[in-house]
Amino acid sequence: LSRHPLGSFESHRGGLWESVRHSSSSPKVALLGASGGIGQPLGLLLKQDKLIANLALYDVVNTPGVAADLSHIDTNAKVSAYTGSGELHAAVEGADVVVIPAGVPRKPGMTRDDLFNTNAGIVRDLVAAIAKASPKALIAIITNPVNSTVPIAYEVLKKAGVYDKRRVFGVTTLDVVRAQAFVAELKGLDASKTTVPVIGGHAGITIIPLLSQVKPATKFTDDEIKKLTPRIQDAGTEVVNAKAGAGSATLSMALAGARFTNALLRGLKGENNVQCSYVASDAVKGVEYFSTPVELGPNGVEKILGVGKVSAYEQQLIDAAVSELNKNVQKGVAFVK
């Protein structure tokens, strides 16, 4: 019998299922929001990540069922279930990485910012618990609006006196995944070997695909750039509308979240690697948080690699994103203060 049913998903990007040469010291990942539309398929993918020894599933409902189901999969990650705020501390205690997809998703007609009122408080309370139980954990935030929930997390950690700007990440990997899928489709490239940096933030015009930096080197006409850029920016809305009230991206987001979690874990064990992520950053003047390629390593963010060489069109997009991002950041900061 083959033990690698998912082998075809392996990719050069350091996919989830690459073989692991060194055994690591039983890393623990806590998944908060584990029963949700993203949480369940993300748990499924994390259960197959060979870098994870312990997978703690936390949600306010339904965690025992999800955990029982996942625990029957014949991979080594040990699955445990925690339900409700009384069990949150135990869920995150000793975690190396905490991944947060807890919170409500968009319905047609909503922007990500419309989720602020519900999700801001959820992220604040979860991060406050992490600050106590696992202050050294790397925190990967999926919950929208990411542009604001990441600053919220920083402010909560600051208040708790455990602030380390290298350890909080807004997960923007789905924007990268989408950009790579769309570019590969348009240009007839091998999607698994196409890389597209996406910088800025994770909402509307703050999402900035750098088509000038696509690898393998690819030429786009102005017309292609002007069609592809908004498609990547609005790809989330494409899914929200197609799901017609049943939520937003969950399956592609689960893949993106699992890929990013794996990258954090590889970094922790000294396999430094580069990913785009929305973090506290001095890469762009006039804004405190920005997504660019960052080098991940044993401390989380080891190095902000910056935006690199961009086209005049991309520079315009960056300039337009800055004021929007500042509003999103201020809203998050004000919420905690």
Catalytic residues: 202
Tokens of 287: 């804004």
Nearer to ligand NAI, 106 or 266 (CB): 106
Considering the complex, what minimum distance in angstroms separates the CB of residue 103 from ligand NAI?
A: 4
In which residue are the tokens 């597209």 written? Answer: 196
Distance CA 91, CA 103 (A): 17
Q: How far is CA 265 from the centre of its chain?
A: 13
Considering the complex, what minimum distance in angstroms separates the CB of residue 304 from ligand NAI?
A: 20
Considering the complex, what minimum distance in angstroms separates the CB of residue 93 from ligand NAI?
A: 16
Considering the complex, what minimum distance in angstroms separates the CB of residue 193 from ligand NAI?
A: 23
Distance CA 268, CA 68 (A): 28
User: Which residues pair with residue 280 across a beta bridge?
Assistant: 289
Host H or E run for residue 99? strand 97-100
Nearer to ligand NAI, 211 or 239 (CB): 239
Look up residue 312 and give its amino acid.
Answer: A
Nearer to ligand NAI, 174 or 271 (CB): 174
- Integer Rg of the chain from CA: 19
Host H or E run for residue 121? helix 116-133
Q: Is the peptide bond before 230 cis (omega within 30 degrees of 0)?
A: no
Considering the complex, what minimum distance in angstroms separates the CB of residue 143 from ligand NAI?
A: 4
Tokens of 320: 């337009």
DSSP code of residue 204: G
Nearer to ligand NAI, 100 or 287 (CB): 100
Q: Is the peptide bond before 293 cis (omega within 30 degrees of 0)?
A: no
Nearer to ligand NAI, 94 or 247 (CB): 247
Burial class of residue 19, CB neighbours in 10 A (0-12, 13-18, 19+): exposed
Q: Which residue is closest to ligand NAI by CB?
A: 36
Considering the complex, what minimum distance in angstroms separates the CB of residue 228 from ligand NAI?
A: 18
Burial class of residue 245, CB neighbours in 10 A (0-12, 13-18, 19+): exposed
What is the DSSP secondary-structure string of 208-240? EE-GGG-BS-----HHHHHHHHHHHHTHHHHHH
Binding residues vs ligand NAI (CB under 6 A): 32-33, 35-39, 59-61, 101-106, 115, 119, 122, 126, 142-144, 146, 171, 174, 202, 247-250, 253
Considering the complex, what minimum distance in angstroms separates the CB of residue 62 from ligand NAI?
A: 7
Nearer to ligand NAI, 79 or 253 (CB): 253
Please choose, from the candidates 279, 270, 263, the residue with its C-alpha nearest in 3D space to the C-alpha of residue 298: 270
Nearer to ligand NAI, 60 or 181 (CB): 60
Distance CA 145, CA 129 (A): 20
In which residue are the tokens 């703050």 written? Answer: 206
